[in-house]
Structure 1
Amino acid sequence: MAILVTGGAGYIGSHTVIELLNEGHEVVIVDDYSNSKPEVLNRIKELSGKDFVFHEVDITDKDALKEVFKQHDLEAVIHFAGYKAVGESVAKPLMYYRNNLNGTIALMELMNEFDVKNMVFSSSATVYGMNNEAPFTEDMPLSTTNPYGTTKLFIEQFIQDQVAADPSWSAALLRYFNPIGAHESGRIGEDPNDIPNNLMPYITQVAVGKLEKLSVYGDDYDTPDGTGVRDYIHVVDLAKGHIKALESVLETRGVEAYNLGTGVGYSVLDVVKAFEAANNVEIPYQIVDRRPGDIGSGYADATKAHKVLDWAAELGIEDMCRDSWNWQNSNPNGYA
């Protein structure tokens, strides 16, 4: 039986597919390349030494997605597919609601139809909103500050309601903090289609000369240096967390939420300095206005994932900075 990975050609999806293949799972990827490149599929095969099945499908196209379910004997779904830029979601909320929510509804309806009732969902720490004090724990009240976060919160509710309606379902809601880094080979990494929305690809594109300087969004937060503090986690640690979550989902029923983070907060300028130190590269930056919907400080309490899933982040900020630069320096134009 195979694992269906929606958005499996994307940044986190591609790293997770490698871990799945390394663990001996059969993998079926669906992706529409809205924020990914076809070349990543060749790199996954190269790094894993294994093959998988790929379908170019937009998950909002339920008829096309249904053909995937018909063709494969699926055991579980790891659901990454969705738009993910906070700023863009504020500017284009309806686009985010249509894509992320309708796509997930179509997916879950087909899971019911084909009796595939095991799911690992790519959620986000954005569901903790602006009113909780870090470190965030899974039992805190949830709220959102932007449409992207709202889609994650709604989908968590979809899944919880479906599990309540049908106790044969099993699901894990993985609330990521801030994934950075790349595969240590430098062969796969984060390659956004437009100007980066996330910090590390912005830094690496400045370092490689594609962008003139880094924009730091706000220096007046209530943090040690005024810039936003986040919990940065290496994408390979994050991918391994999906394997642990999948193992748990396949062995249990019900739904659980887990924070996947390191439990350590770094400011934007901390990351800039760590990148410069790790790679001996200077990163010019400018302070600009805050982005709508951003919070000042957010980092995880990942105790539950450690206790229940036997998972903990192993790679530090130096590893994240080194591997990010190795990827960008080896692939100055990404997968192009």
Structure 2
Amino acid sequence: MKAYEINSDGGVDALALTERPDPKPGPGEVLVRVRASSINYRDLSTVEAPVPRGIPYPRIPNSDGAGDVVEVGPGVTRWKAGDKVCGCFFQGWLDGPITPEWTGQALGGAIDGMLTEYQVLRQDGLVAMPEHLSYEEAATLPCAALTAWHSLVEVGRVKAGSTVLLLGTGGVSVFALQFCKLMGVRAICTSSSDEKIARLKAMGADETVNYRVHPEWQEQVLDLTGGKGVDHTVEVGGAGTLERSVAATRIAGSIGLIGVLTGGQIDPVAIMRKSIRLQGIYVGSRRMFEEMNAAISQHGLKPVISDRFAFEDARNAFHAMRAAGHFGKLVVKL
């Protein structure tokens, strides 16, 4: 089979397209023919800086993939050949709080990922694809979509009538906007591009703020909420935006801390004074994934794919992630 491998710290252009023996599933395992794999910022970071992350060589990158079950190992009861599935980011995190054991089962990091023609996964590390989605659409779900769902539903506990702040137009934020719309949640979105703002509005964003025009964008958010602030913020920027997100979030509101896109430092005093609940979010469990997929299926939600790349052209998908010009997800087709 063909697979991409991280074999050095040489970055994206050093990704090697290699030949590996076809894998066979063992007890409790499933062999999946991968049909599509999407790119996350985390995948780019892993490729660009594997050494600080303790990635052993060789390592197949990418957490996200969707495909077909082609063979099951002894003792497998959850799946059969022909089933259409998505891999879970954490192969062992089924429900409950995350544990150190399960953080060591992350695809494309601690273990081989999905940028490959075939992959062997645990039978309990898979979920069924929503029937109305293509492989490419389903491949966007395991990381970005589930992270957005976790932030909104599990941490923010948003409901119809809640107000949420979404930063930027990457995969997590675009999925969060789609989930807000199907739940009746008011969404305030930020972007540096008027063109992207127009797309956000077309998707149902209730209010938008151009943060290049308004560098102190938290003030615009406070104006839009009558000085109160939003109920929940999906924070994908990191330390460089967190201070403004805290200012834009109401007293006793919540922030789902997801991204590390911007550098900087944060003074925790404002978090304490506003009694804000700040929760770090690292994707989600299989139970969350299944509940999210049920909502996606019920409402016929379609993921937003910015660009598609051929398998042989996968390096350019990582370059596109670094360029940050995308709106939604970047997907590699196999």
Q: TM class by shorter-chain length?
A: 0.3 to 0.5
* TM-score, scaled to structure 1: 0.34
Greater fraction helix: 1
